[in-house]
Amino acid sequence: MKLSAKTIVLNILFLLVCAAILLFLLKAPDETTSRLPMDDTHRQFQSGMSKKEAEKQCGECHGPQGRIPLPPDHPPPYRCLFCHKRQL
């Protein structure tokens, strides 16, 4: 079986793209976002309800008038558990 020059070039290009993607992923920074706290306030959100259900409750404490409002530079507050992972 003889490979054409075009096939060889495409295979090399594919390998280079795969190597570039792997290098990019290996150089990615570590996760820095804090996890959902495992305290009495947040324990109810750790399990037993879906992420969407749990996220509906976040605004009570972390909304503008809540006990612990989000800082002004915080990303939009509608997907809390996308970044703040549960500690199961």
pLDDT per residue as tens, the chain (88 positions): 788 999 999 999 999 999 999 999 999 988 888 898 989 888 888 877 888 998 889 989 999 999 999 999 998 888 898 889 888 7
Domain regions of the chain by residue span = 43-83
The pLDDT of residue 21 is 98
pLDDT on residue 9 = 96
Q: What is the pTM of this model?
A: 0.61
- Computed from CA positions of residues 69, 73, 79, 83, in that sequence, does the dihedral angle turn out positive or negative? negative
